[in-house]
């Protein structure tokens, strides 16, 4: 039998292969081009920018034709033009623009957060594929060695191997082949998840460059919790929510001040052959409705936004505590494998290999040692993958869902313009017709 292959856990994937390989940077660049959520986040910013522009626009004037006293004393009557000019008071337009501006800032934060989510999600799936790739390679090696062991055991039945040895060697071979099928399925599923996040689901499987053991982050709770409060986009967005709701409260307070309406009419009187001008100005009397309900609602929204910052910070720390626990467990497991289990399994396999070569043990006993070596390395690879998953989640400040809809991260940012809609006359502005 051939000597067992070394563990793949510490090397790069298929480093000797000339086949086309993909790196993490290449996959992340592909995701930045093709992941649909990034364009969605960009369009959300554009939508918020449009709302900001619209919120600050002055209302359009309304021009109307007016004809009165037609047929009086057989004359054509009075004909002219009415110009309605609404004036928005109390700084409502800049206040509405400020509300929409803070909403746009929130949308910008969400766009940045979505880019981070995509990068982190690709990174997580990349390491999952890398681990699955190596686990599959180990399973393939084990099947090849068990095939050799089965043939060797059958050949030795004429000497010292029994039928029971043959059946056990055959069982080990079938078991290894079954596990190989599992690792191939796991690799296919991991590759599909990776390509889905990248946005190229038809990308054919390719080996990945990189190492599972190099560059593993060493994290401490104090450092990550401090960074979380200082840099988290979720907290930044919540803080911007305070500014937005404060501006919204100021806007609702200003909306209690009525707008002014000016109407200027110029008419020609055919009965006297004279031209005259009329002017009307007025405003609604806020004796029943001075927007008091919306002021109460906006004040409550403002107080709620201030509490939202605390809630988001606490919720993130709660999630961080769970993820950091997983990180510590995975890190300790990896250290145990590196310092104890892998060296012990390697020594056991080396010792059994020497005994087999000296004809002191059977092929079957060597196969059992090979299985222990392989399963230990496969478990080590899974521990490394788990360590990377939790480390990336922590470093990425819990932003790891690269296919989440950015709309789910946005509160309603619609801002109602205080002016009448374009081309819509004011409600009371037709009283020239009622003279």
Asked if residue 51 is part of any domain, the answer here is yes
- Print the domain residue range for 117: 24-57+89-256+291-418
Residue whose C-alpha is closest to residue 378's, from 187, 46, 139: 139
Asked if residue 435 is part of any domain, the answer here is no
> How many folded domains does the chain comprise?
1
Q: Token pair of 119, please? A: 């990068």
Letter string b/e over residues 27-40, b meaning 16 or more CB atoms within 10 A of that residue's CB = bbebbeebbebbeb
Asked if residue 65 is part of any domain, the answer here is no
Asked if residue 238 is part of any domain, the answer here is yes
DSSP-derived letter for residue 270 is: T
Q: pLDDT tens across 368-388, in order?
A: 999 999 999 999 999 999 999
Residue 17: predicted pLDDT = 47
Residue 208: predicted pLDDT = 95
Residue 71: predicted pLDDT = 63
Sequence-ordered list of residues with C-beta below 8 angstroms from that of 240, at least 6 positions apart, any chain: 102, 105, 106, 109
Spatial contact of 312 and 238, defined as CB atoms under 8 Å apart: yes
Asked if residue 19 is part of any domain, the answer here is no
Mean pLDDT estimate for the chain: 87
Q: Which helix (H) or strand (E) holds 409?
A: none
Residue 74: predicted pLDDT = 66
Q: Which helix (H) or strand (E) holds 349?
A: helix 342-357
Sequence-ordered list of residues with C-beta below 8 angstroms from that of 393, at least 6 positions apart, any chain: 120, 124, 323, 400
Asked if residue 405 is part of any domain, the answer here is yes
- Specify the residue for token string 């990180």: 327
Q: Give 278's strand partners.
A: 265
* Regions of the chain with pLDDT less than 70: 1-19, 71-75, 157-161, 409-435
Residue whose C-alpha is closest to residue 124's, from 322, 432, 401, 332: 401
Asked if residue 285 is part of any domain, the answer here is no
Asked if residue 64 is part of any domain, the answer here is no
Q: In this structure, what CATH number is given to the domain that contains residue 94?
A: 1.20.1600.10
- 14 Ramachandran zone, left/alpha/beta (phi>0; psi -120 to 50): left
């Amino acid at each position: 039998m051939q000597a067992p292959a070394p563990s793949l856990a510490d090397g790069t994937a298929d480093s000797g292969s000339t086949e086309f390989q993909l790196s993490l940077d290449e996959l992340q660049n592909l995701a930045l081009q093709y992941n649909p959520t990034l364009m969605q986040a960009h369009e959300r910013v554009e939508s918020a920018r449009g709302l900001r522009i619209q919120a600050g626009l002055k209302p359009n004037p309304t021009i109307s034709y007016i004809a009165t006293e037609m047929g009086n004393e057989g004359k054509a009557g009075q004909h002219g033009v009415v110009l309605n000019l609404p004036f928005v008071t109390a700084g409502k337009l800049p206040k509405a623009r400020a509300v929409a501006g803070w909403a746009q800032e929130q949308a910008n934060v969400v766009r940045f957060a979505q880019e981070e989510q995509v990068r982190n999600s690709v990174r997580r799936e990349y390491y999952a594929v890398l681990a699955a790739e190596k686990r599959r390679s180990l399973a393939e090696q084990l099947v090849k060695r068990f095939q050799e062991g089965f043939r060797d055991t059958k050949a030795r039945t004429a000497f010292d191997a029994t039928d029971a040895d043959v059946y056990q060697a055959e069982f080990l071979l079938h078991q290894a082949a079954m596990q190989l099928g599992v690792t191939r399925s796991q690799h296919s599923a991991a590759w599909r998840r990776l390509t889905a996040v990248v946005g190229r689901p038809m990308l054919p499987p390719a080996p990945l460059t990189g190492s599972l053991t190099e560059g593993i982050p060493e994290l401490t709770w104090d450092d990550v919790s401090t960074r979380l409060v200082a840099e988290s986009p979720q907290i930044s967005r919540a803080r911007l929510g305070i500014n937005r709701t404060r501006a919204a409260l100021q806007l609702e307070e200003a909306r209690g001040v009525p707008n002014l309406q000016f109407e200027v009419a110029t008419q020609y009187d055919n009965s006297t052959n004279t031209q005259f001008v009329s002017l009307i100005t007025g405003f609604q009397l806020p004796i029943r409705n001075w927007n008091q309900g919306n002021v109460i609602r906006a004040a409550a929204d403002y107080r709620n936004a201030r509490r939202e910052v605390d809630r988001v910070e606490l919720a993130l720390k709660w999630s961080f505590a769970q993820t950091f626990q997983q990180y510590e467990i995975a890190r300790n497991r990896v250290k145990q494998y590196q310092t104890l289990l892998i060296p012990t399994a390697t020594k056991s396999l080396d010792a059994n290999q020497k005994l087999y070569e000296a004809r002191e043990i059977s092929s079957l006993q060597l196969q059992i040692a090979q299985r222990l070596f392989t399963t230990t390395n496969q478990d080590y690879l899974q521990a490394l993958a788990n360590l990377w998953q939790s480390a990336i989640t922590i470093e990425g400040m819990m932003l790891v869902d690269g296919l989440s809809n950015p709309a789910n991260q946005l509160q309603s940012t619609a801002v109602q313009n205080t002016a009448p809609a374009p081309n819509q006359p004011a409600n009371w502005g037709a009283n020239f017709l009622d003279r």
